[in-house]
Chains A and B, each alone.
Chain A
């Protein structure tokens, strides 16, 4: 007791936290070092792709003032936070001085920094993070949500439409026309009728009707000789259904019939505009699809904004951006300031590779990559989800079946660690040689890459299915649902966000793979886009790899950098889709 009292008299003493603090900063450093390294690389790739190193600083200043500053202003206005505005101004201003001084100091005292000027460093180190932060903050508020929603939806729709349009380079447009007319339309009609009348029989009939129609379409394809023009096919199979879906969506969300008709009408009108514009490098008439896919979400969003009466000011964002570009261009033209000559320009995306760096394009490789990814997405989703459902829902834990399931499980986990070159070898032996799908064809590549990412899709789908609470399954079984009904109606809808996220992230891995493609004999360079899934193709990483070995410096720096940026943009848009889809589905359930 006496000892206790003495201690109390001396205060509580101190407990050392040195280890914890040290650990915290080491952890922070570890998490940041990789990011910084990658960011530095990307900055250089970006500079090369857009030829920023040779840019006139005045040119940068003009666009900074006409484009970036108003844009930041818009975000700050949306955020409506004085403290944030003040802080942003301080960081932009102080950052300018700090970057300039630090940059010159390093150049003078330590080492020259290649291919960077302090203006560029300021843009990348200060402006880019500030812009992303104010966008993030501004987008949370109604005004920003309106503006960014407008841009994001339109852009997203256009990108999705373009991706589907690219698929029609290899798909038979006329067969699709017949399948849609004879299969999809009747099946959809049966479904709508069943829903409307509450008739289970009509609902059940929709799938057989659709399959029958599709089979009939395949037979008729060789019999029929005359077909509508491609623009009409796209209007009928995409423009009209997209417009209809947009109208129904507005109705469902509680819009009036008139607004639904207006939204549908705008979508259809946009599709009609697509019939008169050219389609550039895309298949003839597919501009209809791109326009409709961009206009429908835009119209829906506009309807929502006008309905909400809040944040309508955000609709000026496209005007701010468009005006900024035009004003900047006018100023640059008036004063004769030379701009950069970017490697990544429209021509790069729509033209074939060439011997000269200036004319080189990535078009066939982009098409090849998109087609392969579409095939891989379908294959790996079906196989991966099927395997995961079987392993999680249909196998017992005990007995022979349980033992087999455990063995499969362990092997799937191991397969995820097998190097991709080995999968390439498998694809070469199995698909290209044994099954005769051909060397370097899109089919062989898609099958090989599907196998490569299958373990990842299976494991992530399993995780998602396992995360579905068991109470829901019990509830469903207790209602007298069969295993299949429980899986279809309860487990899969609940697991879908997780399954989709896992699958799309795995697809991201597939799109960047090079080694298996080399093994199955994919061409490094092809000069025309593949015309069907059996033709030889090249993919973006293959083409980039090939260019990186060219002797000319222009290829190794400019063209390769442009390819890397394109690849990254495709990847990032895929991941963004994954995140949006997941958030959307999670919010709904």
Chain B
């Protein structure tokens, strides 16, 4: 993405940023001042008796990229899975607090988690296309909603995932025949085909090589024009590059700091965040 800008701003970035690599924080505040779409209040999650998340409160603005970073086991993925109630599938998991999507608490009695998930797409760490044709992968979301998918739907979703040009002649072949990076973009196409409001990404590039990863990063930037993206990442440079806002979780499932990405990486309020970002801890 911003290779050129990066080198141009190198000097200033180096002097200000706490992280050692020459990364320019995303076009700051581009979209982060828009209305809140997702909000959590005092969200706590328990696996049996273990507490995985502690009173997390966060407001995620519409049409933005929000990065969740933190050391392993700090509850980032758990938090992400709370947003579309994928944690319901784990028997021992118990959720307290509120998650609201456009003001409606998704943990209310009258909310059907299956219907909720049709509003929120998810992309996983390991590319997991279904062992079906590329077309069937893309139309899966519409199909389970009982809608018939047209060729235009398929084309729009694949174009949205920047995959169309590579696969337009082989829509009937298996999604598993694609390369890892292509598979992950197919998963993104699958997620955006039913036109959700929010897309959750759980370390979408960690299983990919750097070239494929940078393609996905570019894509995420484009996706934020239309969708709200929440992304978990282990890669701090990635968070700095692509996100508008960053939330830092630390061990114990605690949200330590949540602010504009530039602020987090240049002038964090919390010493522990500074230590984590500079690599002294975590």
Residues facing B in A507-543 (CB within 8 A) are: none
User: Which of these, A200, A469, A471, A478, contacts B121 with CB under 8 Å?
Assistant: A478
User: Which of these, A198, A480, A490, A589, contacts B117 with CB under 8 Å?
Assistant: A480
Residue A107 lies at the interface, judged by CB distance under 8 Å to chain B: no
Contact B130 A475 (CB under 8 A): yes
- Neighbouring B residues of A479 by C-beta, 8 Å: 117-118, 121, 140-141, 144, 190-191, 194
* Interface residues, chain B, with chain A CB atoms under 8 Å away: 84, 86, 89, 91-92, 114-119, 121-122, 124, 126, 128-132, 140-141, 143-148, 150, 174, 176, 187, 190-191, 194
Contact A476 B122 (CB under 8 A): no
CA distance A200 to B140 in the complex (A): 14
Q: How far is the CB of B87 from chain A (nearest CB, A)?
A: 11
Query: Known contacts A480-B141, A485-B144; can you find 9 more A-B pairs with CB under 8 A?
Result: A471-B126, A475-B190, A476-B140, A478-B86, A479-B117, A479-B118, A480-B144, A481-B114, A490-B130
Q: How many residues of A contact B (CB 8 A)?
A: 26
Stretch in contact with the other chain, from A289-297, A320-328, A381-389, A395-403: A395-403
CA distance A382 to B145 in the complex (A): 27
- Neighbouring B residues of A469 by C-beta, 8 Å: 128
Contact B86 A474 (CB under 8 A): yes
CA distance A478 to B122 in the complex (A): 6
A471, A479, A481 pick with most chain B CB within 10 angstroms: A479
Q: How far is the CB of A390 from chain B (nearest CB, A)?
A: 16
Contact A198 B114 (CB under 8 A): no
CA distance A402 to B141 in the complex (A): 30
CA distance A558 to B259 in the complex (A): 89
30 contacts between A and B (CB under 8 A): A198-B148, A200-B146, A200-B148, A397-B91, A398-B92, A471-B124, A471-B126, A472-B130, A475-B129, A475-B190, A476-B140, A477-B89, A478-B121, A478-B124, A478-B191, A479-B118, A479-B141, A480-B117, A480-B118, A480-B145, A480-B194, A481-B114, A482-B114, A485-B144, A489-B130, A489-B143, A489-B144, A494-B131, A589-B131, A589-B174
Residue A493 lies at the interface, judged by CB distance under 8 Å to chain B: yes
CA distance A475 to B144 in the complex (A): 13
- Neighbouring A residues of B119 by C-beta, 8 Å: 480
Q: Which 6 A-B pairs have the closest CB atoms?
A: A480-B118, A478-B122, A471-B128, A480-B117, A589-B131, A481-B144
- Neighbouring B residues of A56 by C-beta, 8 Å: none
Q: Which residue of B lies closest to A399 (CB)?
A: B91
Residue A199 lies at the interface, judged by CB distance under 8 Å to chain B: yes
Q: Which residue of A lies closest to B115 (CB)?
A: A480
CA distance A472 to B132 in the complex (A): 11
Contact A474 B115 (CB under 8 A): no
CA distance A476 to B143 in the complex (A): 11
Contacts A478-B84, A478-B86 given; indicate if A200 touches B147 (C-beta within 8 A). yes
CA distance A120 to B133 in the complex (A): 53
Contacts A479-B190, A480-B194 given; indicate if A199 touches B148 (C-beta within 8 A). yes
CA distance A198 to B152 in the complex (A): 13
CA distance A474 to B121 in the complex (A): 12
Q: Which residue of A lies closest to B172 (CB)?
A: A252
Q: Which residue of B lies closest to A194 (CB)?
A: B148
CA distance A397 to B90 in the complex (A): 9
Contact A489 B146 (CB under 8 A): no
Contact B91 A482 (CB under 8 A): no
Residues facing B in A146-185 (CB within 8 A) are: none
Contacts A198-B148, A481-B144 given; indicate if A475 touches B117 (C-beta within 8 A). no
Q: How far is the CB of A256 from chain B (nearest CB, A)?
A: 18
A402-425 CB mask vs B (1 if < 8 Å, else 0) is 100000000000000000000000
- Neighbouring A residues of B131 by C-beta, 8 Å: 472, 493-494, 589
Q: Which residue of B lies closest to A402 (CB)?
A: B91
Contact A398 B194 (CB under 8 A): no
Residues facing B in A451-486 (CB within 8 A) are: 469, 471-472, 474-482, 485
Q: Which residue of B lies closest to A469 (CB)?
A: B128
Contacts A398-B91, A489-B144 given; indicate if A475 touches B86 (C-beta within 8 A). no
CA distance A480 to B117 in the complex (A): 5
A538-551 CB mask vs B (1 if < 8 Å, else 0) is 00000000000000
- Neighbouring B residues of A474 by C-beta, 8 Å: 86, 89, 124, 128
Q: Which residue of A lies closest to B147 (CB)?
A: A200
B118, B128, B146, B190 pick with most chain A CB within 10 angstroms: B128
CA distance A474 to B143 in the complex (A): 17
CA distance A200 to B176 in the complex (A): 27
- Neighbouring A residues of B118 by C-beta, 8 Å: 479-480
